[in-house]
Amino acid sequence: MHANDVGPGGLPRVGARPPLGAYLREVWARRQFILSLAQFRIEADNQRNRLGMLWVVLQPVLEASVYGLVFGMLLAGSRPPNFVEFLVIGVFMFQFFSSTFAAGSKSITGNIALLQSLSFPRMTLPISLVVQRLLLFIPTIGIMLVLVMLTGNKPHVNWLLLIPLVGIFFFFNAGLTLITARLTVHVRDLKQLLPFITRLLFYTSGLFFSVEERFKDHPKILRFADFQPIHEFLTLARGILLGGDAYKVKMDYWLYTSAWAFGIFAIGVVFFWVAEERYGRAD
């Protein structure tokens, strides 16, 4: 135990941050609490809407429809092959990221009363939020697959690769959530900047246009795109579900996305844990 964690008389100080290993074991021991909290939030959110869980499916479908109508007309002859399913996959996958990224920043600042009244590992709050978004994302995956099949694509065994891809995407989102959750505790104004960051990623990840085709004469931009994580996730998802010559699975993207996901997750865990004693303080 660190010297600063010991109070007068050699007793452990209340609220002291435990070592990282012990802290992570505490978080894991509360995995049922994390799942229950995620499920409770879903139920609470649905009770506020007349259509309930139906909005989980309707929202990405409506977004894909609007983007398809607007950008389909704007792009005209420069639309990528299989534009409808290309767009559907991009929108559905990106929404998992954007909804987690936006809500994750409030996972600590939005639960001050809970933090000040109960003692528990604070990391459970941002993690439960990512689990909540994953639980909401799962049914939309089914709708995404149905829409892809309705456009003439037949199910393939390669579609099972979507399972590890979503798993990697989960850790990527969890790492970012842990980072933004702590940053917004220190700098509340950061929440005002996050929508602009999300919008920047929206326009640079190739949701509605092919990055490879649009910048085929700009190798430096293409090389940069190879290391843009959201673009990598979208490209892998399209390669898995669409395949063919137009959308081949880039094997190196598996390495890149895994490095991004587990690297950011590890950084996020340590970064969040270091400030454990700050969360819920009045100052």
Distances, alpha carbon 266 to alpha carbons 26, 98, 191, 235, 261, in Å: 17, 20, 23, 24, 9
What mean pLDDT, rounded, does the chain reach?
84
Domain boundaries, given as residue ranges, for the chain: 68-278
**In this predicted structure, what is the pLDDT of residue 282?**
47
pLDDT-derived band at 62 (thresholds 50, 70, 90) equals confident
Q: Which range, of 37-46, 65-74, 243-252, 263-272, averages the lowest pLDDT?
A: 65-74
DSSP state of 111: G
**In this predicted structure, what is the pLDDT of residue 213?**
80
Residue 9 has pLDDT above 50, yes or no: no
DSSP-derived secondary structure for 43-79 = HHHHHTSTTTTHHHHHHHHHHHHHHHHHHHHHHGGGP
C-alpha–C-alpha distance, residues 180 and 109, integer Å: 11
**In this predicted structure, what is the pLDDT of residue 111?**
80
At residue 206, the 3 state secondary structure works out as: coil
pLDDT-derived band at 188 (thresholds 50, 70, 90) equals confident
Give me the percent of the chain exceeding a pLDDT of 70. Answer: 85
**In this predicted structure, what is the pLDDT of residue 208?**
80
**In this predicted structure, what is the pLDDT of residue 118?**
78
